[in-house]
Amino acid sequence: MVLTAKDIAGPRDRGWLRYLRSDTFPTFWCAGCGNGVIMQALARSLAARGPAPEQVAVVTGIGCFGKADDYLTTHSLHGTHGRALGFATGIKAARPELVVIALMGDGDCATIGGNHLIHACRRDIGVLAVVSNNLNYGMTGGQFSATTPEGSITSTSPYGHVEPAFDLCALVQGAGASFVARGTCGQPALLRRLFDEALAHPGFAFVEVMTACPTHYGRANRQGDAPKMMRGIAEAYRGKTGVLFRRETAGFSSKYRALQTARKAADGRVGETR
Amino acid sequence: MPVFMQGNEALFRGAVAAGGRFYAGYPITPSSEIAELAAQELPKLGGVYLQMEDELASIAAVIGASLAGVPAFTATSGPGFSLMQENLGVAYMAEIPCVVINVMRSGPSTGLATMPAQADVMQARWGTHGDHPALALCPASVQECFELSALAFTYSEQLRMPVTVLADEIIGHLREPLEVPVGTPIASRPLPSCPPGDYGTYDTSAGDVPPLGFFGGPHIVHANSSMHDAAGQPTTRRDTALALIRRLQDKVTARSAEFPQRRWYLDDAEWVFVSFGISARASLAAVERLRSRGVAAGLLQIQTVWPFPRDLVREVCRNARGVFVVELSLGQLVGEVERAVMGHAPVHLIAQSDGRPLLPGDICRRAGEVAGDGFDR
Ligand SMILES: Cc1ncc(C[n+]2csc(CCOP(=O)(O)OP(=O)(O)O)c2C)c(N)n1
Ligand code: SF4
Ligand SMILES: [Mg+2]
Domains of chain A: 29-264 (3.40.50.970)
Report whether A105 contacts A71 (CB < 8 A): no
A90 to B221: CB separation less than 8 angstroms, yes or no: no
> What sign for the dihedral angle of Cα A7, A10, A11, A17?
negative
Q: Tell me the C-alpha distance between B196 and B259, whole Å.
A: 33
Instruction: Give, using CA atoms, the residue closest to atom 5 of ligand 2.
Output: A29
A187-195: long-range pairs with CB below 8 Å, 24+: A187/A234, A187/A241, A188/A37, A188/A40, A188/A41, A190/A241, A190/A242, A191/A37, A191/A38, A191/A41, A191/A42, A192/A41, A192/A44, A192/A45, A194/A242, A194/A243, A195/A41, A195/A42, A195/A44, A195/A45, A195/A128, A195/A130
Q: Out of A59, A83, A136, A139, give the residue to mutate to test ligand 1, the one with the largest number of ligand atoms within 8 Å of its CB.
A: A139
pLDDT at A167 over 80: yes
Q: How far is CA A198 from CA A39, A181, A223, B185, in A?
A: 15, 8, 31, 42
Using CB atoms, pick whichever of B58, B63, B220 lies closest to residue A54.
Answer: B220
Using CB atoms, pick whichever of A80, A88, A91 lies closest to residue B90.
Answer: A80
What pLDDT, on the 0 to 100 scale, is given for residue B56? Answer: 98
Angle at A177 between CA A174 and CA A179, to 5 degrees: 125
Q: What is the mean pLDDT of residues A160-186?
A: 98
Residues 6+ apart with CB under 8 A from B283: B273, B275, B299, B301, B324, B326, B360, B363
What would the pLDDT profile of B145-168 be if each residue is shown by its tens digit? 999 999 999 999 999 999 999 999
Chain B nearest-CA residue for A253: B48
Rounded to the nearest 5°, which phi and psi values hold at B91? -65, -35
The CA-based diameter of chain A, rounded to the nearest angstrom, is: 76
Q: Which amino acid is at B113?
A: A
Instruction: Give, using CA atoms, the residue closest to atom 2 of ligand 2.
Output: A213
A252-256: long-range pairs with CB below 8 Å, 24+: A252/A92, A252/A93, A252/A123, A252/A124, A252/A125, A252/A126, A252/A203, A252/A204, A253/A92, A253/A93, A253/A96, A253/A125, A253/A126, A253/A202, A254/A96, A254/A202, A256/A93, A256/A96, A256/B43, A256/B48
What would the pLDDT profile of B214-250 be if each residue is shown by its tens digit? 999 999 999 999 999 999 999 999 999 999 999 999 9
CB of B40 within 8 Å of a chain A CB? The answer is no
What pLDDT, on the 0 to 100 scale, is given for residue A10? Answer: 52
From ligand 2's centre to the CA of B328, what distance in Å? 50
Instruction: Give, using CA atoms, the residue closest to atom 11 of ligand 1.
Output: A137
Q: Tell me the C-alpha distance between B323 and B316, whole Å.
A: 10
Q: Categorize the per-residue pLDDT at A152 as very low, low, confident or very high, splitting at 50, 70 and 90.
A: very high
Residues 6+ apart with CB under 8 A from B338: B347
Give the residue with greater pLDDT, A8 vs A34: A34
- List of chain B residues with pLDDT < 50: none
A79 to B60: CB separation less than 8 angstroms, yes or no: yes
Inter-chain contacts counted by CB atoms under 8 A, chains A and B: 152
Q: Tell me the C-alpha distance between A57 and B223, whole Å.
A: 11
What pLDDT, on the 0 to 100 scale, is given for residue A6? Answer: 55
Q: Tell me the C-alpha distance between B92 and B225, whole Å.
A: 8
What pLDDT, on the 0 to 100 scale, is given for residue A13? Answer: 67
What pLDDT, on the 0 to 100 scale, is given for residue B374? Answer: 77
What pLDDT, on the 0 to 100 scale, is given for residue A5? Answer: 56
From ligand 3's centre to the CA of A145, what distance in Å? 7
pLDDT at A9 over 80: no
Q: Tell me the C-alpha distance between A256 and A264, whole Å.
A: 12
B54 neighbourhood in chain A, CB within 8 Å: 115
Report whether B125 contacts B135 (CB < 8 A): no
What pLDDT, on the 0 to 100 scale, is given for residue A273? Answer: 43
Residues 6+ apart with CB under 8 A from A174: none
What pLDDT, on the 0 to 100 scale, is given for residue B36? Answer: 98
- The whole-angstrom distance between A83's CA and the closest CA on chain B is 7
Is ipTM strictly over 0.95? yes
A78 neighbourhood in chain B, CB within 8 Å: 94, 222-226, 234
Interface test with A, best of B40, B41, B53, B128 (most A CBs within 10 A): B53
- The whole-angstrom distance between A94's CA and the closest CA on chain B is 5
Domains of chain B: 1-260 (3.40.50.970), 262-371 (3.40.50.920)
pLDDT at A1 over 50: no
Report whether B87 contacts B96 (CB < 8 A): no
pLDDT at A231 over 70: yes
- The whole-angstrom distance between A101's CA and the closest CA on chain B is 12
What pLDDT, on the 0 to 100 scale, is given for residue A274? Answer: 38
Q: What is the mean pLDDT of residues A133-158?
A: 98
Identify the DSSP state of B176. E
Q: Taking phi first (over 0 means left), then psi (-120 to 50 degrees means alpha), and beta for anything else, what does residue B216 get? A: left
CB of B223 within 8 Å of a chain A CB? The answer is yes
Q: Categorize the per-residue pLDDT at A8 as very low, low, confident or very high, splitting at 50, 70 and 90.
A: low
Report whether B339 contacts B310 (CB < 8 A): yes
Chain A nearest-CA residue for B235: A70
What pLDDT, on the 0 to 100 scale, is given for residue A12? Answer: 62
Tell me the pLDDT of chain A averaged across its residues: 94
A264 neighbourhood in chain B, CB within 8 Å: 43-46
pLDDT at A185 over 80: yes
Q: Which amino acid is at B147?
A: E
Instruction: Give, using CA atoms, the residue closest to atom 6 of ligand 2.
Output: A30
Q: Categorize the per-residue pLDDT at A149 as very low, low, confident or very high, splitting at 50, 70 and 90.
A: very high
- The whole-angstrom distance between A175's CA and the closest CA on chain B is 14
Report whether B99 contacts B348 (CB < 8 A): no
Report whether A41 contacts A9 (CB < 8 A): no
From ligand 2's centre to the CA of A142, what distance in Å? 9
DSSP for B1-61, please give it: --EEEEHHHHHHHHHHHTT--EEEE---TTTHHHHHHHHHHGGGGT-EEEE-SSHHHHHHH
What pLDDT, on the 0 to 100 scale, is given for residue A268? Answer: 76
Report whether B137 contacts B304 (CB < 8 A): yes
Q: What is the mean pLDDT of residues A29-54?
A: 97
pTM of the model: 0.97
Using CB atoms, pick whichever of B47, B66, B225 lies closest to residue A80.
Answer: B225
Q: Tell me the C-alpha distance between B324 and B363, whole Å.
A: 9
CA neighbor of A92 nearest in space, from B48, B207, B109: B48
From ligand 1's centre to the CA of A217, what distance in Å? 15
